[in-house]
Structures are given as structure tokens and as C-alpha cells.
């Protein structure tokens, strides 16, 4: 088959700016392309490969490594569009897919069959569980997920079972976690994989590195000669193991080190996955003859957004100096919204979306709400639903669809209605209590045959002919539910839910994994409890309030059902996107809202408690930089003075990152709920005023002697102190007895509120 001549020939170079063209046409020797956000990185990488082919380089001698199969596929399609059919002959794929392809050929060199199996995480955890069981270890202590994560981290840091055992710090850490035999499990797990002719996902990298180390001449040299040009995308996200393999491939005496890496140190945000920013920072030291190209022109965002991003990232210590600029001069200043509560923050953000849609003729899919932790999505989901705005959780699950949230709600549903079979099946053996699927299936069959509820069968389980151990477990479960039901009348919905989480041991069960994902799941459970507490204590009357007189657990569950029982979005429905900042990397939207800009949230509490505080803050700042640069035209930052966390009302100071942006790029007058004429811009005075209201010690001092007053003390004209909204004055009171509603004028930032006195947390001052 003859190769088609590309239609574009080299006219594609005309689509590049000067720096992009230099990066594309550079052929021989090592190259580092620093690609700022929105700088045309993908185009440069694609055109560089196309230019190599146009310049006579054999396409099969080009290796391009990416982090997603989608990116590799799109790149090959773009290259083929420019360079013709030859573009499809390059080696392009993820690290794992490319190395698996090589290992299929070379695996016998390290004692594996060419048709080795690849274990997914569930296969690996199952193998680990079997090892734990066969050696008589406690599976509750030696949790398979925690062990799997620990082994994965070791492999990605090039630590073999032998090196693991010889690492005194690791052994000590395992002993502190009451897992002194973890090193042995690692060794047995590796043996088991070898015996099974299998590799796990991490082995595709680990064994690739091992293959090259053990076979420097007959294997490594073969691939060094084959891959004469190597390109690596998103280089800042590589870990120690990936970089080790890359360096082996290019370190060859007959090679001219034709390696090109593309990335941005300012967007290195995956340290928790093992990525190390040192790879890109030290690249120049490893390849002294390097050519560096800095793509600094941004084609995505307006000038205020780009200048703010430069302000932020300039505060980081270790970085490759660059200054991003844009041709999109003008635009609007960055809005800053200060809310009193997180619920108010969600309402203002939702109202701003409505306002921008109307003012600028935008669609729902032009918007994204970014948060630091997935648990923050709850209040925004509720506010968007109240306004009937379609939305989707991007890269995650809707808050109320997350397993741990559904587990807690499942218990609450059973307490209210034990005949709820779906909820009952969900929780009867979670956390594990020895009631297996076979027993549940048998009991369900009996219930259907006798036309009785499953709950009725459970209460009479002694007649079901089950093993004595299972029967006892079911009796204990029934007794626990009965005790929960006895608390319904005397406990608030929040008190009951908190008690359920404690007694069932859901948090303890999640903690066993000792992973980042486990911590996120725990945060989701506590966020659910905080949401229930907010529901119980809500006293404000407005268009979003539902059934404010009834704060029972039944009322709460009904409220959740109304929030979550909506028709599935059709493919053509345009939705506002909700996502974590990590999930937003690589995406762009016309209007971005970054919410929860508070200390202990962004930067995160985990970062602020890190042993290496400066490095942790630097990573959080890079994360904020990524978030800011997703915005094309409008950017809004928001924070709240108070929010429920772990069941307690916390008073928050605004994030340090807000103070790192120059005043001239911000619009602090952004306020949607209450229409006001913006005052002349004065950042210093405004920030002093806002921070005075939000500093924790000020709020703590105000509330130190707080004591709620009886309803009878609340009269028109009284000056009061509200637990969340601060100082105010009662303007009028409507209704009688326990149904009294007060209209209260609070300080300027809060404005006028209608409060249900029955639920109000107010102290009458005079």
C-alpha cells in the first residue's frame, strides 16, 4: 500500500506561534516543552510527531506515552489527519498499554508466560485476602484494600519485597498500624502472582523496569534502537517508576537522546497517587544538552483570570519560571462571594448561574462548579434542584448515590419502615455480620411463599432452619433495629442518625482501608450527618424551605427522596457540571465557580496538618492554579463564614489563596441574592470587613456566652444575637404560639431574614 501524501503538507506550521513552531520543528536531542494552561499543548505535541514523520523519521520508531487511552487515540487521529496514514503506525498509548504490549513479547525473559493474566484491583484484593486467611491473620486488621494500597505504593517507588523488609521505617509504620507481617504478605503475594502467571496493574510498570535491568543487552538495547524518538505527555504526573523506565530507554551510547517531554510543573497535582514534581524540575539536570521551550501564551482565558493565576503560582518555591499571558485583554474582574453559611453560598452561586445565563445568553453546559472535596456537592445539588437547573456530577457520583451515603440512609429507611425490603437487604450484612447471600436468598424465598414481609421472617428466624451462628446474627440485627426504633420519638433526626452510624460501626469499617478513597468516604458520611443537622436546625423561611414545621427522620427521608427521585437526564440535556478540582484538569468552561475557599477546606485540613507543610501547601496552590485556569470568560470564588463539619458549626476564615491575588483583579462587590448598588472598589476596607466577620476567634468570642432565649422574649424591636447570622433587630412578628415567624434585619452582609422562632437559635439582648 502506498502512503498518501498529506494534503496539508507543511502548511500546518502556519497555524503555530513562534514558540510553538520552534518546539515542533526541533528534532534531535532532548527537549522540554513547558506548556502553560490553554497554550495549545496538544496541537504542539501532535504537530511535532507529524513533523518528525514529514522529515523522514520512520513512524514505527516514534513512541508517544500518554496517561489516558482516549488521549492516545485522539492524538493518533490528529497525527493521521496531518501526516496521512503513516500517522497510524507510531507507537502511542498509555504507559500501561504500551508496556503490556512489550511484556507480551518479552515476559519469558523474567519468568512469566507471554499469555500472562492481568489482575484488576478486585482480583488482587481477593488474592491478598486468601493469603491473610491461609496464614491465620485477622482480616479485620489485615484489610485487603489497605494492604493492596501499601504494596502498590511500594512497587511504584521501586521497592521490592526484600527492600521493603530491609526498610526499618516502613516496618515500624506497619507495626504502628498493627500489621507487622505486611512485608511477608507482600512477598507471598508476589510469589502467588508468579505462580499464577499473572501480573497486577502496577506490575506492568514494575516488571517492565525489571525486564530492562536484567536484560540490558538482548532486550533493553533492542527497544532503545527501535524507539529513536520518545515523547511523553503530562510529564509532571509521572512517578519514580515511570521515569526510571523512560531514562533506561534513552540512555544508550548509540542514541542521541531524542526524548521530548511535555508538561507544566504548575499543574502537578497528583502527589497522592505517587506522582513527583521532581521529575520535571530535575529533567534539565538529567539531560544537560536540553532545549527548553516555554508555551506561555494562553488562548483560553481573559486577562484578569491569567493575571490572577500568575499571582497565585508565583508564591510557590520550587518551579520553572514562566509568565502566562493572553491576547484576550479585558473581560470582567473575578467575582468574590462571601456567604454566611454554606447553604447560602450554594443559593448565591445558583442565583449567579441564573443571572449569567440571562445576561450573557449562556447554556447550562457553559458552567462548572468546582470544589476541593466531593462531600461539598450536597448543598449545590440541593440548590440547583430547587431552581430546576439540570446538573451532572462529573467524574464522580451524585452525593446521595454514593455507597456510604446510601448505606446510612438505608438504615434510616429500615428504622422508619422495616418492611422496606430493598433497604433491609442493603444493610442486613453491612458492616459484615455473618449473614451471607445464601441465607438472605432463603429467607426472601420463605417471605414470598408465605406472603409475608422479609422483616416478619427475620423476627421469627428460629423457624427458618438456618445455621445457629447465622440465626444468632440475625437476632442481634433485629434487636439493634428495635432499639433504634425506640429512640425515634425521643431523638432528633440528627441524634438518631449519629447514633446509628456509631452503633453500626460504619465509620470504623470504612477506616480499615486506610486509603485516600476511604478518607473521602468518611467525609461523605460526616457531610450527610451535617446535612441532617442543618435540616433539623434550619429556621429561615424562604422559597427553598420545605415542610419547616416537621423535622422528624421521616420528614428528612421524604425530603431526600424528593431531591433524588428525578428523571434520568437525556443525552441532549445540557447540564451544569459539578466536580472536584482534580477532576477538572484538562477541561474548560465559559464560567467557573470555585467554592469553599476557606482555610481547612482549600487548602485542605490534611495539607495543613502535613509533616512537610510547605510542600503540601505548594501542591494545594498548584491545584488552585489548575482550577482558576479552567475558566474562559467568567470566574467566581466563594466562601462561607460558617458550615457544619463533623456535626458542629464551624466558623471559617477565608482561604489564604484569596489574599494572594492582587486587589485589582477582584470584584468583592459580587452579591446576587440582595440587589445593591456596588460601592466604589476598596479591597482593603472590604476585606477587613469580611474577614472580621469570618475569623474564627471573633465568632467564638461572640458565641462564648450564647444562651437561646424563650420564644416569648422575642418581640418587635428587640435586638438579638443569632447563632449563625450574628447581630440583628426584630422588625416584625407574624403568627401565634409555636408558629411565630420573625422578620429580622441583620448586619449589612446578611440582610433581612424570615426566621421560624420555634427552631431559631437566638438570644434576646435588649
The secondary element (H helix, E strand) that includes residue 622 is helix 613-628
DSSP per-residue codes, 443-506: HHHHHHHHT--HHHHHHTGGGS---HHHHHHHHHHHHHHHHHHHTTTTS-HHHHHHHHHHHHTH
Which of 54, 80, 200, 233 is flagged as catalytic?
A: 233
Give Cβ neighbours of residue 222 (< 8 Å, ≥ 6 apart). Answer: none
Structure-derived torsion over alpha carbons of residues 172, 174, 175, 179, reported in degrees to the nearest 10? -160
CA distance 643 to 626: 25
Consecutive H or E run containing 699 = helix 696-703
Distances (CA, A) of 414 to 298, 460, 484, 676: 55, 17, 10, 48
**What is the Cα 87 distance to its own chain's centre?**
35
- Is 234 among the residues known to form the active site? yes
Catalytic residue among 267, 341, 650, 670: 267
Confirm whether 224 is a catalytic residue. Answer: no
- Whether omega before 603 lies within 30 degrees of 0, making that bond cis, reads yes
Which one, of 246, 308, 393, 238, lies nearest residue 37 by Cα? 308
| Pick from 271, 289, 209, 285: nearest CA to 244 | 209
Quick check: 710 and 738 in contact, CB under 8 A? no
Cis preceding linkage at 525, omega within 30: no
User: Which one of 19, 20, 41, 89 is the catalytic residue?
Assistant: 41
Task: Look up 25 and say whether it is catalytic.
Answer: no
DSSP conformation letters of 259-316? EEEEE-GGG---GGGTB-THHHHSHHHHSTT-EEEEE-EESSS-HHHHHHHHHHHTT-
Q: What angle do CA 110, 114, 116 make, to 5 degrees?
A: 90
β-strand partners of 746: 728
Residue 537: which of 640, 641, 644, 696 has the closest Cα? 644
The residue to which cell 502548511 is assigned: 11
Note whether 651 and 706 are within 8 A (CB). no
With vertex at residue 657, the alpha carbon angle to CA 653 and CA 659, rounded to the nearest 5 degrees, is 75
State whether residue 667 is helix, strand or coil.
strand
DSSP 8-state secondary structure symbol assigned to residue 253 = T
Given the residues 25, 42, 109, 673, the one annotated as active site:
42
From the list 106, 203, 234, 538, the catalytic residue is 234
41 catalytic, yes or no?
A: yes
Residues contacting residue 20 through CB under 8 Å, at least 6 positions apart:
40, 43, 44, 47, 295
471 CB burial (10 A radius; 0-12, 13-18, 19+):
middle
Q: Which of these is catalytic: 228, 307, 630, 699?
A: 630
Residue 675, judged by CB atoms within 10 A of its CB (0-12, 13-18, 19+), counts as: exposed
**Alpha carbon distance 347, 256 (integer Å):** 59
Q: Which residues contact 7 (CB under 8 A, 6 or more apart)?
A: none
CA distances from 239 to 199, 247, 259, 581 (A): 19, 12, 17, 21
List the one residue out of 265, 231, 290 whose CA is nearest residue 51. 231
Per-residue b or e along 639-654, where b marks 16 or more CB atoms closer than 10 Å to that residue's CB: bbbbbbbeeebbbbbb
- Determine the Cα–Cα distance for residues 594 and 638; give it in Å rounded to an integer: 6
- Contact of 396 with 523, CB cutoff 8 Å: no
Q: What angle do CA 520, 526, 531 make, to 5 degrees?
A: 120
- Active-site residues: which are they? 41-42, 233-234, 267, 630
Amino acid at each position: 500500500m502506498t502512503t498518501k501524501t498529506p494534503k496539508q503538507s507543511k502548511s500546518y506550521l502556519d497555524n503555530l506561534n513562534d514558540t510553538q513552531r520552534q518546539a515542533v520543528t526541533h528534532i534531535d536531542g532532548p527537549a522540554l516543552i513547558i506548556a502553560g494552561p490553554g497554550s495549545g499543548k496538544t496541537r504542539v505535541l501532535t504537530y511535532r510527531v507529524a513533523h518528525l514523520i514529514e522529515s523522514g523519521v520512520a513512524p514505527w520508531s516514534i513512541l508517544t506515552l500518554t496517561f489516558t487511552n482516549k488521549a492516545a487515540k485522539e492524538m493518533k487521529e490528529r497525527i493521521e489527519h496531518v501526516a496521512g496514514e503513516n500517522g497510524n503506525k507510531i507507537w502511542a498509548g498509555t504507559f500501561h498499554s504500551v508496556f503490556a504490549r512489550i511484556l507480551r513479547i518479552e515476559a519469558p525473559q523474567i519468568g512469566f508466560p507471554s499469555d500472562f493474566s492481568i489482575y484488576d484491583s478486585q482480583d488482587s484484593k481477593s488474592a491478598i485476602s486468601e493469603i491473610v486467611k491461609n496464614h491465620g491473620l485477622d482480616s479485620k486488621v489485615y484489610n485487603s484494600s489497605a494492604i493492596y494500597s501499601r504494596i502498590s505504593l511500594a512497587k511504584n517507588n521501586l521497592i521490592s519485597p526484600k527492600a521493603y523488609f530491609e526498610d526499618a521505617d516502613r516496618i515500624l509504620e506497619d507495626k504502628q498500624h498493627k500489621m507487622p507481617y505486611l512485608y511477608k504478605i507482600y512477598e507471598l503475594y508476589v510469589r502467588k502472582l508468579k505462580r499464577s502467571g499473572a501480573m497486577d496493574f502496577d506490575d506492568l510498570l514494575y516488571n517492565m523496569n525489571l525486564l530492562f535491568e536484567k536484560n540490558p543487552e538482548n532486550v533493553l538495547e533492542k527497544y532503545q534502537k527501535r524507539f529513536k524518538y520518545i515523547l511523553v505527555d503530562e510529564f509532571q504526573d509521572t512517578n519514580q517508576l515511570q521515569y526510571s523506565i523512560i531514562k533506561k530507554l534513552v540512555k544508550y551510547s548509540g542514541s542521541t537522546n531524542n526524548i521530548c517531554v511535555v508538561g507544566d510543573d504548575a499543574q502537578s497535582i497528583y502527589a497522592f497517587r505517587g506522582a513527583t514534581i521532581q521529575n520535571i524540575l530535575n529533567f534539565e539536570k538529567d539531560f544537560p544538552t536540553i532545549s527548553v521551550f516555554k508555551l506561555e501564551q494562553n488562548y483560553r482565558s481573559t486577562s484578569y483570570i491569567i493575571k490572577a493565576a500568575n499571582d497565585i503560582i508565583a508564591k510557590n518555591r520550587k518551579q520553572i519560571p514562566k509568565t502566562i499571558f493572553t491576547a484576550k485583554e479585558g473581560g470582567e474582574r473575578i467575582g468574590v462571594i462571601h456567604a454566611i453559611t454554606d447553604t447560602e453560598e450554594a443559593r448565591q452561586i445558583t442565583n449567579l448561574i441564573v443571572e449569567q445565563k440571562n445576561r450573557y445568553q449562556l447554556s447550562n453546559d457553559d458552567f462548572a462548579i468546582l470544589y476541593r472535596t466531593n462531600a461539598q456537592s450536597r448543598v449545590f445539588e440541593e440548590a440547583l434542584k430547587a431552581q430546576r437547573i439540570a446538573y451532572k456530577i462529573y467524574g464522580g457520583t451524585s452525593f446521595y448515590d454514593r455507597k456510604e451515603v446510601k448505606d446510612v440512609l438505608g438504615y434510616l429507611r429500615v428504622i422508619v419502615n422495616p418492611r422496606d425490603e430493598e433497604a433491609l437487604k442493603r444493610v442486613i450484612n453491612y458492616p459484615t455480620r455473618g449473614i451471607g447471600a445464601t441465607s438472605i436468598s432463603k429467607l426472601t424465598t420463605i417471605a414470598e411463599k408465605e406472603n409475608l414481609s422479609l422483616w416478619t421472617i427475620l423476627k421469627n428466624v428460629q423457624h427458618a432452619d438456618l445455621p445457629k451462628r447465622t440465626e444468632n446474627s440475625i437476632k442481634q440485627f433485629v434487636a439493634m433495629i428495635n432499639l433504634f426504633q425506640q429512640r425515634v420519638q425521643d431523638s432528633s433526626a440528627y441524634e438518631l442518625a449519629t447514633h446509628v452510624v456509631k452503633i453500626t460501626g460504619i465509620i470504623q469499617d470504612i477506616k480499615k482501608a486506610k486509603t485516600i478513597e476511604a478518607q473521602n468516604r468518611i467525609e461523605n458520611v460526616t457531610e450527610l450527618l451535617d446535612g441532617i443537622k442543618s435540616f433539623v436546625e434550619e429556621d429561615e423561611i424562604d422559597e427553598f424551605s420545605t415542610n419547616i414545621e416537621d423535622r422528624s427522620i421521616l420528614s428528612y427521608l421524604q425530603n431526600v427522596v424528593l431531591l433524588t427521585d428525578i428523571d434520568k437526564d437525556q443525552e441532549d440535556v445540557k447540564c451544569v457540571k459539578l466536580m472536584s478540582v482534580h477532576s477538572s484538569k484538562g477541561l474548560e468552561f465559559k464560567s467557573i465557580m470555585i467554592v469553599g475557599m476557606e482555610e481547612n477546606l482549600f487548602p485542605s485540613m490534611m495539607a495543613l496538618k502535613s509533616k512537610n507543610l510547605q510542600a503540601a501547601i505548594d501542591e494545594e496552590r498548584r491545584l488552585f492554579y489548575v482550577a482558576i485556569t479552567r475558566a474562559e470568560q467568567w470566574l467566581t470564588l466563594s466562601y462561607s463564614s460558617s458550615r457544619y463539619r463533623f456535626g458542629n458549626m464551624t466558623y471559617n476564615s477565608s482561604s489564604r489563596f484569596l489574599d494572594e491575588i492582587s486587589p485589582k483583579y477582584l470584584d468583592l462587590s459580587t452579591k446576587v441574592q440582595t440587589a445593591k448598588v456596588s460601592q466604589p472598589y476598596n479591597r482593603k476596607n472590604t476585606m477587613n470587613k469580611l474577614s472580621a466577620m469570618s475569623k474564627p476567634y471573633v465568632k467564638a468570642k461572640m458565641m462564648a456566652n450564647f444562651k437561646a432565649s424563650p420564644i416569648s422574649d422575642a418581640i418587635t424591636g428587640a435586638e438579638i444575637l443569632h447563632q449563625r447570622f450574628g447581630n440583628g433587630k426584630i422588625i416584625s412578628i407574624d403568627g401565634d404560639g409555636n408558629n411565630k415567624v420573625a422578620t429580622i434585619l441583620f448586619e449589612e452582609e446578611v440582610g433581612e431574614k424570615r426566621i421560624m422562632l420555634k427552631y431559631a437559635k437566638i438570644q434576646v439582648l435588649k
